[in-house]
């Protein structure tokens, strides 16, 4: 433990602490504060309960102390008792976690309570990334030399042969000098050289020039993303940017720009130096505006929803009105229907699409990744989904560090928090509800990701860009969450037993009646979740039974396994029908 | 089949408009004595819509448009169809024929009396004997030392809306019963409806007392005392008045009212606050208006859901059932439940309470028994509430629908507790209104006997049991029932949800495009079939396989097609390939639609089993 950590820990161990968890009887045991964890061990000989809480996952901490000695009705409290460690005083700490769980510790001794609380406060909000737990997490079964990450634009490019005649890999950003928030390599049209790219980048906010993020195999159309063009009040133009977009499509084609702002917002953005692609200069592109909320509005929506879910009132009308008032489901609706629109452009209408909003790091990524889930069967597999998240969120520069600094419980003043990634997971969950056979991963994976985006043992969601990750040597010094989840024993926990691959697009219904509150996340710590888990188990059993019936069951007396016999009979039947 | 449209076999070139998107289907409209039929034209394996006249709640002719004369038909099973008939004259013909057909004035006109499923007399009789209430009371341990079967209503003399067989406390003599019945609205005196053997506690039901402001009746007081004395576990009996207090107070002015605790020595009186049939009717109407809106926003949906009050009413019923269940199973007290006449809210609460207390009612057959007992035999006025004959519209109310909705809410909370799935509930709802089977016709047992239903119609229960594999819940676990004999549902408001598969059962675009239920059911079925088939195949294959082996990886799917006698026909009409009917255009993500060349839509996929499959 380094010096800094120990400075924060005034009381490391407290006995006789009572832990109150949702849906569990109260437990008595020892509470221990370490550099990165809060450890509670029940004081029992056998089968005792242990709680290991990553301090980073603490969103808010509330403390209240009671010093009974101070009250005149306890005159007997003499000096002798004070010697035994303030036995008359006690305190309570309520910890609200970023995964929305709420824990309560009753701690004997006011001083201990205050010490523990201030340690948690300090250690849960360490500023420096390299002090965070992923830099210390060294499980025996993992080695730092293992490969980090699953996908990259290079790999995506290498695997998509049909991209090659029209698109190229550019290393114009190899030093992160053209765009701070892009990875080193990006996919761009062949016709555009690096000098043009750099000029186009200077015309886009944060240097985020249009790059390819998805190639639709069936018709060769693409989805690109960028940030807003910096046209400003004077309607500046940039030939290189225009060329870049023109090079992405054929002369005769039309492309769509899906702007995730309202037309009015886009107009107003010009006053602040931003803007939109005007029809006059981008002849072959048609712009559509789809207003998606972001930033503070989205964060406040999450806060209101979580508050509504914690309301103990039994009143139906109050619940519905609070649910409505939070607007969360409206945001889910907008995200899915905008993604549906993008997918529709590509698949049904046969047009390429550019998506952007303001910075192109939040709602833009939400829309492009959801559109890919709708269109691309590869992104619906376990590995494919993680690859999608890696390319579209981690490498594409979603600022996880700022956006996921705090969750719904925090009392801290909002800075740049925004649950855009949580919204993606929710929308993905909705897809899974509507197409329960189409995703290879289950809700459990989405819950795991929701948790790790905010606080994790792994380095994947640290930092806000590839540049930052390189500077801090995140890949050299932490383990990769995605690699870890793909390990066989882990993977099993997260797969969808009902998965059946389909190569078709999955068009979600966006009627309000078709959208549901993600109870698995927002009501995760209520009794509701328990019976659901049991039912899930049952489905697992049925599917496993099915697989076992299929699998050879030790047919020692015959060389034919049962599965083979099916296959062969089918083949024979096929042959017969051909004849 | 008699064709009613003048001189023609059907009206051609009729457009069917989808209610939530711009999709139209063209086809031919036929009218028979029992159904309105729409057949899609020019499509191989054409989609057909069969609408039973009894299901039609209203027909509306809207104002003429350039493309023709619109006809809006709303059904009791929540189907809404919007036709556009090219010629006004044809439209008027269909309209006036329907108006005549959908308002039967006598029972003889109902479908049940002409429906013939090609069974012989013996099968019909057996069908009617499947559900036996005497056996059910035996299962409950009745009669016993405290409760006896009374013959007081053998001839429907004391109460004509009650069944003949009634269970009363042994200490309740005939004069007490008769006296009590005279003090109760419609003569519906307190009788036993469920017996919780473990605590010897009874659930009894009745109607409101004719107490007015001060009237009392010694026999009725004796009756309640007898009920209380029959249970040694508790010194008192709960009296649950399921109405809001205000309604009960208002009833006093009409000489009715509620029990005065001062006059009844050992009761605990409790109001529950479920609204009356008129409020419920308006609430459902409001709900359907909201969810029927095109391009409904999420916020308007939630606000509409709230202002309709529907889920609030559902929750009130579940709350009441939980109160009843706790009183009986935890306190071991007997409970007397009533409302005004004791056939609407009382039926809801007693039936739902029994469902919470007794795992038997959560099985397929047990649920039939429950409905037969609490609803059919105790005289829930199905004919009036479901508008079977052209009657008073103020008598129509979705009381039974609400009960099914409550059951669905419980299924959502306890996915493993019920042997049947929601499709069973939806099918029940379908047939309560279809008048295809005799079970739900009329308002009381007495009336059913007069109509000689058992001789002239068929029983729904036999029909449902014969296709029960369609209605099973694949994750049902009998061991769950052992662990949770009594269900304790949570009443947190988020547990009460809008039942999309009921109220939008015909709105295909709104549903999950793949169904877990259907899939696991198929898996489970094929698990057992695989075992059988494996043996047969093994024998066949060892015989055939003298030719060289070729092994390919065959996906599971194709294996299951081996067992399907009728494999799903994929759309052969060159339409786009979709996942179970999911398509981009139906969802209306944006204004792009107009710019797309209109491609052929895929053939309609029937959503699930259980949805309106009429046998003719």
Average pLDDT for B288-314: 95
The mean pLDDT of B118-122, rounded to a whole number, is 85
B302: which chain A residues are within 8 Å (Cβ-Cβ)?
A: 320-321, 323-324, 329, 512
**Residue A93 in this model has a pLDDT that exceeds 50:** yes
Residue in A309, A324, A509 nearest the CB of B510: A509
Query: Are residues A453 and A311 part of one domain?
Result: yes
Count CB atoms within 10 A of the CB of residue B50.
Answer: 17
Apex A213 CA angle, A207 and A215, nearest 5: 145
DSSP letter, residue A416: S
The strand pairing partners of B192, in sequence order, are: B204
Reading the block at residue A69, the tokens are 């000695």
Across the range B33-54, mean pLDDT stands at 87
Q: Are residues A104 and A248 in the same domain?
A: no
User: pLDDT of A525-569, one tens digit each?
Assistant: 776 566 667 777 777 777 777 666 655 444 333 333 334 333 333
Average pLDDT over residues A272-285: 91
pLDDT band with cut points at 50, 70 and 90 for residue B19: confident
Q: What is the CATH number of the domain that holds A53?
A: 2.30.29.30
CB nearest A531 (choices: B291, B413, B523): B413
In this complex, the residue of A332, A498, A523 whose CB is nearest that of residue B519 is A498
Q: Say yes or no for a CB contact (<8 Å) between A345 and B592.
A: yes
The tally of domains found in chain A comes to: 3
CB contact under 8 A, B492 and A515: no
Test mutation, B287, B494, B539, chain A, max A CBs within 10 A: B494
Q: Is residue A135 part of a domain?
A: no
* pLDDT higher than 60, residue B571: no
**Range of lowest pLDDT (A209-218, A443-452, B90-99, B558-567):** B558-567
Q: What percentage of chain B exceeds 90 in pLDDT?
A: 67
- pLDDT for the residue numbered A579: 32
- Chain B residue whose CA is closest to A430: B512
Q: Looking at the domain assignment, is residue A77 inside a domain?
A: yes
Percent of chain B with pLDDT over 70: 84
- For chain A, give the mean pLDDT: 86
* Residue A507 within any structural domain of the chain: no
Asked if A531 and B414 come within 8 Å (Cβ–Cβ), the reply is: yes
* Residue B587 to residue A340, Cβ atoms within 8 A: yes
Residue range A420-438, pLDDT digits in tens: 999 999 999 999 999 988 9
Question: How confident is the model over A99-123, as a mean pLDDT?
Answer: 89
Most confident of A57-71, B24-38, B147-161: B147-161
The mean per-residue pLDDT over the stretch A267-275 comes to 92
Cα A26 from chain centre: 32
The whole-number pLDDT of residue B582 equals 66
Range of lowest pLDDT (A16-25, A242-251, A366-375, B569-578): B569-578
Contact assignment for B513 to A506 by CB distance below 8 Å: yes
Query: Which is the catalytic residue, given B69, B339, B386, B406?
Result: B339
* Average pLDDT over every residue of A130-156: 89
Question: Domain range for residue A106?
Answer: 3-126
- Examine the domain organization and report whether A245 and A358 are in the same domain: yes
Residue B616 has pLDDT above 80, yes or no: no
Q: Which stretch of A91-100, A111-120, A368-377, B592-601 has the lowest confidence by average pLDDT?
A: B592-601
Predicted confidence (pLDDT) at residue B606 exceeds the cutoff of 70: no
Q: Nearest CB to B315: which of A316, A509, A568?
A: A316
Question: Nearest CB to B537: which of A309, A514, A566?
Answer: A566
Check whether residue A310 and residue A459 sit in a common domain.
Answer: yes
Does A143 fall in a domain? no
User: Of residues B316 and B524, which shows the higher confidence score?
Assistant: B316
Looking at the complex, report in whole angstroms how far the Cα of residue A118 sits from the nearest Cα belonging to chain B.
35
The H helix count followed by the E strand count for chain A is 22, 14
Q: How far is CA A267 from the centre of its chain?
A: 31
Q: Is A142 among the domain residues?
A: no
DSSP summary character for residue B65: B
How far is the C-alpha of A119 from the C-alpha of A124, rounded, in Å? 8
CB contact under 8 A, A349 and B592: yes
B340 among the known binding-site residues? yes
Same domain, A202 and A313: yes
Amino acid B519: pLDDT = 72
State how far the Cα of A190 lies from the Cα of B526, in Å rounded to an integer: 53
> CB B523 to CB A546 under 8 A?
yes
Give helix A382-389 / helix A363-375 axis angle, nearest 10°: 160
pLDDT at residue A575 in the model = 36
The interface predicted TM-score of the complex, written ipTM, equals 0.85
Q: With contact defined as beta carbons under 8 Å apart, do A93 and A62 qualify?
A: yes
Question: Is position B616 annotated as part of the catalytic site?
Answer: no
| Band of residue A506 on the pLDDT scale cut at 50, 70, 90 | very high
Nearest Cα of chain B lies from the Cα of A558 at a distance, in angstroms, of 9
Reported as a pLDDT band with limits 50, 70 and 90, residue B474 is confident
Q: Out of A222-226, B63-67, B69-73, B227-231, which region has the weakest mean confidence (pLDDT)? A: B63-67
Q: Using the beta-carbon criterion (under 8 Å), do A502 and B579 form an inter-chain contact?
A: yes
Query: B546 pLDDT exceeds 50?
Result: no
pLDDT top residue among A289 and B616: A289
Regarding whether A494 and A355 lie in a shared domain, the answer is yes
pLDDT at B396 over 50: yes
CA dist B351 to B311, B324, B342, B443, Å?
19, 11, 12, 18
Residues from chain A contacting residue B585 (CB–CB below 8 Å): 348
Across residues B391-419, what is the average pLDDT?
95
**What does the pLDDT average to over B553-571?**
31
What residues of A are in contact with residue B552 (Cβ under 8 Å)?
567, 571
Angle at B566 between CA B560 and CA B568, to 5 degrees: 75
Chain A residue with Cα closest to B301: A512
Suggest the residue from A259, A323, A507 to mutate for an interface test with chain B (most B CBs closer than 10 A): A507
Residue A24 falls inside a structural domain: yes
For the segment A361-420, what is each residue's pLDDT rounded down to a tens digit? 999 999 999 999 999 999 999 999 999 999 999 999 999 999 999 998 888 787 899 999
Is the Cβ pair B475, A542 closer than 8 Å?
A: yes
Which pLDDT band, with edges at 50, 70 and 90, does B612 fall under?
Answer: very low
Please provide the average confidence, as pLDDT, over all residues in chain B.
85
CB–CB of B530 and A513 under 8 A?
no
| Pure H helices in A510-552 | 519-522, 528-550
Within-domain flag for A477: yes
User: Is there a contact between A122 and A6 (Cβ–Cβ < 8 Å)?
Assistant: no
At A2, the pLDDT band (50, 70, 90 cuts) reads: low
Provide the 8-state DSSP code for A32. Answer: E
The minimum CA-CA distance between B591 and chain A, rounded to whole Å, is 9
Cβ-proximal residues to A1 (8 Å cutoff; 6+ apart), any chain: A34, A35
Q: Which residue out of A344, A351, A512 would a mutagenesis test of the B interface target, given it has the greatest number of B Cβ atoms within 10 Å?
A: A512
Q: Are residues A96 and A167 in the same domain?
A: no
Please report which helix (H) or strand (E) contains residue B204, including its range: strand B201-206
Contacts of B549 in chain A (CB under 8 A): 564, 568
- pLDDT for the residue numbered A550: 58
Do residues A269 and A233 share a domain? yes
**B276 labelled binding-site residue:** yes
Interchain pair A564, B493: CB under 8 A: no
Least CA distance to B581: which residue of chain A? A507
- Which residue has 């003569």 as its token pair? B187
* pLDDT above 70: residue A1: no
Helix (H, G, I), strand (E, B) or coil at B9: coil
* Residue B110: pLDDT over 50: yes
pLDDT at B576 over 50: no
Cis amide leading into B185 (omega within 30): no
B184 is annotated as contributing to ligand binding: no
Contacts for A221 with CB less than 8 Å, ≥ 6 apart: A215, A345, A346, A350, A351, A352, A353
Q: Note the pLDDT of residue B43.
A: 76
Q: Which residues contact B458 (CB under 8 A, 6 or more apart)?
A: B112, B115, B117, B119, B124, B127, B437, B438
The residues pairing with B29 across neighbouring beta strands, listed in sequence order, are B11, B38
Looking at the fold, whether A24 and A120 belong to one and the same domain comes out as yes
A564 vs B551, B579, B586: nearest CB? B551
Number of Cβ within 10 Å of residue B358's Cβ equals 24
B82 contacts B72 by C-beta, under 8 angstroms: yes
Interface test with B, best of A323, A351, A509 (most B CBs within 10 A): A509
> CB-based contacts of A89: which residues, under 8 Å, 6+ apart?
A65, A66, A67, A68, A69, A108, A109, A110, A111
> In chain A, which residues have their Cβ closer than 8 Å to the Cβ of B495?
528
Residues A112 and A175 in one domain: no
- Give this prediction's pTM: 0.87
Positive or negative torsion for Cα A322, B409, B375, B454: positive
- Give the tens place of pLDDT for each residue, B421-458: 999 999 999 999 999 999 999 999 999 999 999 999 99
Mean pLDDT of B157-183: 95
Partners of A567 on chain B (C-beta within 8 Å) are: 551-554
Look at residue B32 in the predicted model and tell me its pLDDT.
87
Distances (CA, A) of A264 to A205, A260, B469: 19, 11, 56
Between A and B, how many CB-CB pairs are < 8 A?
250
Q: Has B341 been labeled as part of a binding site?
A: yes
pLDDT category of residue B285 using cuts at 50, 70 and 90: very high
* A207 and A261 inside one domain: yes
Instruction: Report the 3 state secondary structure along A43-108.
Output: CCCCCCCEEEEEHHHEEEEEEEEEEHHHCCCCCCCCHHHHHCCCCCEEEEEEEEECCCCEEEEEEE
Q: Do A111 and A183 sit in the same domain of this protein?
A: no
Instruction: Enumerate the residues of chain A whose CB falls inside 8 A of the CB of residue B418.
Output: none
pLDDT bucket at A163, cuts 50 / 70 / 90: confident
Segment A290-298 mean pLDDT: 92
- Considering only CA atoms, which of A452, A534, A535, A539 is closest in space to residue A490? A452
Percent of chain A with pLDDT strictly greater than 70: 88
In a domain? residue A203: yes
């Amino acid at each position: 433990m380094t010096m800094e950590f120990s400075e924060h820990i005034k009381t490391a161990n407290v006995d006789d602490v009572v832990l109150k968890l949702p849906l569990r009887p109260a437990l008595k045991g020892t509470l221990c504060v370490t550099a990165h964890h809060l450890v509670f061990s029940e004081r029992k000989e056998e089968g005792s309960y242990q709680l290991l809480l990553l301090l980073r996952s603490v969103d808010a901490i509330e403390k209240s102390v009671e010093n009974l000695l101070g009250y005149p009705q306890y005159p007997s409290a003499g000096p002798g008792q004070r010697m035994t460690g303030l036995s008359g005083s006690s305190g309570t700490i309520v910890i609200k976690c970023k995964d929305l769980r709420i824990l309560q510790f009753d701690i004997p001794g006011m001083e201990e309570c205050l010490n523990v609380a201030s340690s948690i406060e300090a250690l849960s909000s360490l500023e420096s990334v390299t002090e965070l737990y992923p830099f210390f997490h060294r499980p025996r079964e993992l080695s730092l030399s293992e490969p980090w990450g699953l996908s990259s634009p290079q790999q995506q490019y290498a695997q998509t042969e049909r991209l090659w005649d029209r698109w190229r890999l550019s290393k114009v950003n190899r030093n992160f000098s053209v765009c701070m928030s892009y990875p080193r390599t990006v996919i761009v049209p062949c016709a555009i050289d690096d000098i043009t790219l750099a000029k186009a980048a200077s015309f886009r906010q944060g240097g985020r020039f249009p790059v390819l993020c998805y190639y639709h195999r069936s018709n060769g159309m693409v989805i690109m993303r960028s940030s807003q063009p910096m046209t400003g009040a004077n309607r500046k133009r940039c030939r290189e940017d225009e060329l870049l977009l023109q090079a992405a499509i054929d002369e005769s084609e039309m492309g769509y720009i899906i702007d995730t702002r309202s037309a009015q917002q886009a107009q107003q953005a010009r006053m602040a130096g931003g803007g939109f692609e005007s029809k006059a200069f981008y002849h072959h592109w048609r712009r559509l505006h789809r207003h998606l909320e972001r930033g503070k509005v989205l964060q406040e929506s999450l806060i209101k929803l979580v508050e509504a879910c914690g309301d103990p009132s039994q009143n139906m009308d109050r619940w519905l009105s609070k649910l409505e008032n939070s607007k969360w489901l409206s945001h889910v609706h907008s995200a899915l229907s905008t993604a549906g629109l993008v997918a529709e452009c590509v698949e049904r209408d046969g047009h390429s699409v550019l998506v952007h909003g303001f910075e192109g790091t939040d709602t833009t990524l939400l829309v492009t990744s959801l559109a890919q889930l709708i269109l691309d069967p590869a992104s619906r597999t376990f590995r494919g989904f993680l690859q999608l998240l890696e390319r579209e969120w981690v490498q594409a520069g979603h600022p996880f560090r700022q956006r996921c600094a705090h969750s719904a419980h925090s009392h801290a003043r909002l800075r740049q928090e925004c649950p855009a990634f949580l919204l993606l997971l929710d929308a993905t969950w909705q897809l899974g509800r509507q197409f329960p056979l189409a995703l290879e991963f289950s809700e459990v994976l989405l819950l795991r990701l929701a948790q790790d985006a905010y606080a994790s043992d792994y380095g994947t969601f640290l930092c806000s860009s590839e540049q930052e990750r390189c500077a801090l040597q995140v890949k050299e010094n932490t383990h990769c969450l995605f690699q870890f989840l793909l390990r066989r024993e882990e993977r099993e926990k997260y797969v969808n037993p009902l998965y059946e691959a389909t190569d078709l697009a999955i068009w979600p219904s966006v009627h309000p009646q078709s959208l549901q509150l993600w109870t698995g996340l927002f009501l995760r710590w209520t009794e509701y979740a328990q019976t659901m888990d049991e039912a899930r188990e049952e489905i697992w059993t049925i599917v496993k039974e099915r697989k076992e019936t299929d699998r050879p069951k030790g047919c020692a007396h015959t060389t034919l396994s049962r599965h083979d016999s099916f296959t062969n009979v089918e083949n024979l039947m096929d042959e017969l029908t051909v004849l | 089949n008699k064709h009613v449209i003048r001189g023609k076999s059907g009206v051609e070139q009729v457009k069917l408009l989808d209610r939530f998107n711009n999709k139209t289907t063209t086809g031919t409209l036929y009218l028979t004595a029992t159904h309105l039929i729409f057949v899609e034209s020019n499509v191989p394996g054409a989609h057909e819509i069969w609408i039973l006249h009894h299901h039609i709640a209203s027909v509306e002719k809207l104002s003429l448009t350039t493309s023709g004369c619109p006809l809006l038909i709303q059904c009791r099973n929540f189907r809404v169809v919007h036709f556009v008939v090219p010629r006004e004259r044809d439209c008027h013909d269909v309209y006036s024929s329907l108006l005549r057909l959908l308002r039967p004035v006598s029972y003889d006109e109902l479908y049940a009396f002409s429906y013939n499923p090609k069974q012989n007399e013996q099968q019909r009789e057996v069908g009617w004997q499947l559900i036996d209430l005497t056996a059910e009371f035996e299962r409950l341990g009745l009669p016993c030392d405290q409760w006896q079967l009374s013959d007081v209503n053998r001839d429907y003399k004391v109460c004509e809306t009650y069944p003949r067989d009634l269970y009363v406390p042994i200490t309740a003599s005939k004069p007490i019963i008769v006296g009590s019945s005279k003090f109760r609205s419609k003569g519906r005196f307190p009788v036993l409806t469920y017996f919780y053997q473990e605590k010897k506690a009874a659930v009894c039901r009745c109607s409101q007392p004719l107490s007015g402001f001060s009237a009392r009746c010694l026999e009725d007081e004796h009756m309640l005392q007898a009920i209380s004395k029959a249970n040694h576990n508790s010194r008192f009996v709960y009296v649950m008045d399921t109405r809001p207090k205000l309604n009960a107070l208002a009833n006093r002015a009409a000489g009715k009212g509620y029990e005065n605790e001062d006059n009844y020595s050992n009761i605990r009186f409790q109001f529950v606050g479920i609204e009356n049939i008129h409020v419920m009717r308006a609430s459902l109407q409001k709900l359907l208006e909201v969810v029927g809106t095109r391009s409904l926003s999420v916020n308007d949906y939630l606000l509409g859901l709230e202002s309709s009050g529907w889920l609030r009413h559902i929750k009130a019923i579940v709350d009441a059932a939980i109160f009843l269940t706790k009183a009986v199973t935890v306190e071991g007290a007997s409970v007397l439940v009533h409302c005004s006449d004791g056939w609407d809210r009382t039926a809801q609460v007693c039936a739902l309470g029994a469902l919470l207390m007794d795992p038997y009612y959560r099985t397929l057959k047990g649920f039939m028994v429950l409905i037969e007992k609490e609803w059919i035999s105790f005289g829930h006025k199905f004919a009036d509430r479901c508008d079977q004959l052209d009657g008073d519209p103020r008598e129509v109310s979705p009381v039974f629908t609400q009960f099914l909705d409550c059951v669905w809410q419980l299924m959502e909370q306890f996915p493993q507790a019920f042997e049947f799935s929601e499709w069973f509930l939806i099918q029940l709802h379908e047939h309560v209104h279809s008048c295809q089977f005799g079970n739900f016709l009329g308002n009381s047992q007495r009336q059913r006997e007069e109509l000689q239903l058992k001789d002239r119609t068929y029983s729904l229960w036999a029909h449902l049991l014969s296709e029960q594999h369609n209605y099973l819940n694949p994750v049902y676990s009998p061991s769950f029932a052992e662990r949770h004999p009594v269900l304790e549902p949570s009443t947190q408001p988020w547990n009460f949800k809008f039942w999309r598969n009921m109220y939008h059962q015909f709105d295909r675009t709104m549903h999950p495009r793949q169904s877990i239920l259907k899939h696991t059911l198929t898996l489970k079925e094929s698990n057992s079939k695989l075992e059988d088939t494996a043996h047969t195949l093994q024998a066949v294959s060892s015989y055939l396989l003298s030719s060289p082996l070729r092994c390919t990886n065959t996906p599971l799917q194709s294996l299951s097609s081996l067992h399907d006698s009728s494999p799903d026909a994929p759309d052969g009409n060159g339409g786009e390939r979709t996942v179970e009917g999911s398509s981009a255009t139906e969802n209306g993500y944006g204004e792009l639609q107009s710019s797309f060349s209109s491609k052929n839509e895929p053939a309609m996929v029937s959503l699930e089993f259980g949805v309106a499959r009429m046998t003719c």
